[in-house]
Amino acid sequence: MKQYDVIISGGAMAGATLALALDQKTSGALSIAVVEAYKTDHAQHPGFDARAIALSHGTVETLKQFELWEDIQGVATAIEHIHVSDRGHAGMTEIACDDLAVGALGYVVELADVGRIYDQRIQANDNIDLLCPDSIVDLRRFEDRVEVKLNSQKVLSAKLIVAADGAFSPCCDAINLPQEQTDFEQVAVIANVVCQEAHQGRAFERFTATGPVALLPMSDDRMSLVWCLPPDEADEVLKLADSEFLQRLQSSFGWRLGAINAAGERSSYPLILRYRPQIVSHRFAVVGNAAQALHPIAGQGFNLGIRDVASLVEELAQQVADLGQYRGLSSYQARRREDRTATIELTSSLVRLFSNDWWPTRLGRNAGLFCADVLPPLKQPLLNRTLGLVER
């Protein structure tokens, strides 16, 4: 049996960030094991695949605090302007970094790029052992420790285990940590596209009767598409020939970037809110998608998960002598309650408000977008969430 201070189940964005941030915050005082089922290869790894994600301004500041941003910045594309509109209607609002005196509203990164960077950082760190490919098959907790058995038959012991193993967390299931679900009855269609006009750091969120269409700026003037559709329509769109797919997307998104000329490989996943009200237990904590998996509207999910990671790191750094003390873990849960609740309510409300074409709702949301555009104070709560400038 090999002993560690912390075992992290899951080595994708949340788990790897946690390992590196915890090592930095404690000046290398802890021994950390990261158990990950997949090699860092975008063709296989579900957490470091070909998708792109948006890092908010607040997330970037957090990564800077943990000395992680410098490496990531080289593969990041700045978001300098966000355009929000309602298809077929007048309501719209815009957010520009110049108006807010920030260098960028956020950045877009490809998960595969960050996966390679994190893998290099972890491999070079003597305080972190990456056990990969491997997975936890048995988890037992005792008064002063937790023990896990791996698929490789290795046995590990630690003072604390952290579940960062995704929305279907096997570790959370192993201790019967309850999870609530809300099916939004939508599917996200994912692809990278190339448009006639250069994106110039612009991001777009366009609401339609069937769900939002988001385009995020990427390197080489590509755009990352997240197109939310009802399941039957998503199935149809995934089967279209490239020319038909582009035509359908053009009709939904419009012409703000000129013609949409090309699209890469398409993939999809169902949009279901998965939420665990309880994110701590005896010598056990939960972060990232294992704690909550959100609808992608407004790009809140990963940024919320990074705030989980940062809060947990700060709490653990205060109790290095015994990381599993329930006092510290309960403080972590209390710190995260308000932010988690507010962000989940915001994204769920936006889905309900902007994913239907009922005329009173349509009238109300267009009035809201118009007022937000001409009355800046009304826009501030959305700006704070967009920028990730929230209490944690």
166-183 per-position pLDDT tens digit: 999 999 999 999 999 999
All residues at 6 or more sequence positions from 168 whose CB lies less than 8 Å from its CB, including other chains:
none
Give me the number of domains the chain comprises: 1
All residues at 6 or more sequence positions from 205 whose CB lies less than 8 Å from its CB, including other chains:
82, 83, 84, 85, 212, 213, 214, 297, 298
Contact (CB, 8 A) for 10 and 35: yes
* Residue 339: pLDDT over 50: yes
In a domain, residue 381? The reply is no
Given this model, what pLDDT does residue 367 score? Answer: 44
pLDDT tens, position by position, 223-265: 999 999 999 999 999 999 999 999 999 999 999 999 999 999 9
CATH number at residue 174: 3.50.50.60
Collapsing DSSP to helix, strand or coil, 43 comes out as coil
pLDDT band at 97 (very low <50, low <70, confident <90, very high): confident
Rg of the chain's alpha carbons, rounded to an integer? 21
Question: What DSSP state is assigned to residue 233?
Answer: H
In a domain, residue 84? The reply is no
Query: Does residue 66 come out as left (phi exceeding 0), alpha (psi in the -120 to 50 range) or beta?
Result: alpha
pLDDT tens, position by position, 259-302: 999 999 999 999 999 999 999 999 999 999 999 999 998 788 99
Q: Are strands 6-9 and 32-35 parallel, antiparallel or unpaired?
A: parallel
Residue in the structure block whose two tokens are 């908010």: 56
Given this model, what pLDDT does residue 370 score? Answer: 43
In a domain, residue 320? The reply is yes
Collapsing DSSP to helix, strand or coil, 101 comes out as coil
pLDDT band at 91 (very low <50, low <70, confident <90, very high): low
Give the pLDDT mean for 77-102.
80
Question: What DSSP state is assigned to residue 114?
Answer: H
In a domain, residue 100? The reply is no
CA angle 86, 91, 94 (to 5 degrees): 90
Q: Give the tokens for residue 262.
A: 């090309």
Q: Give the tokens for residue 127.
A: 């305080």
Cβ-based burial of 149 (10 A; exposed 0-12, middle 13-18, buried ≥19): middle
Average pLDDT, the chain: 89
Other beta carbons within 10 Å of 377: 8
Helix, strand, coil proportions of the chain in percent (round to 5)?
40, 30, 30
In a domain, residue 59? The reply is yes
Collapsing DSSP to helix, strand or coil, 11 comes out as coil
Please give the single-letter amino acid code of residue 361.
T
Instruction: Provide the residue range defining the domain that includes 129.
Output: 2-77+111-180+273-349
Collapsing DSSP to helix, strand or coil, 167 comes out as coil
In a domain, residue 356? The reply is no
pLDDT band at 154 (very low <50, low <70, confident <90, very high): very high
Give percent above pLDDT 90 in the chain. 71
In the beta sheet, which residues pair with residue 180? 275
In a domain, residue 225? The reply is no
Q: 0.75 exceeded by the pTM?
A: yes
Contact (CB, 8 A) for 282 and 322: no
How far apart (Å, rounded) are the C-alpha atoms in residues 24 and 293? 27
In a domain, residue 300? The reply is yes
Residue 300: name the closest of 367, 234, 366, 350 by CA: 350
What does the longest C-alpha to C-alpha distance in the chain come to?
Answer: 64
Contact (CB, 8 A) for 66 and 25: yes
Residue 107: name the closest of 59, 48, 42, 49 by CA: 59
N-terminal to C-terminal alpha carbon distance within the chain: 36
Contact (CB, 8 A) for 321 and 333: no
Helix or strand (DSSP H, E) at 317: none
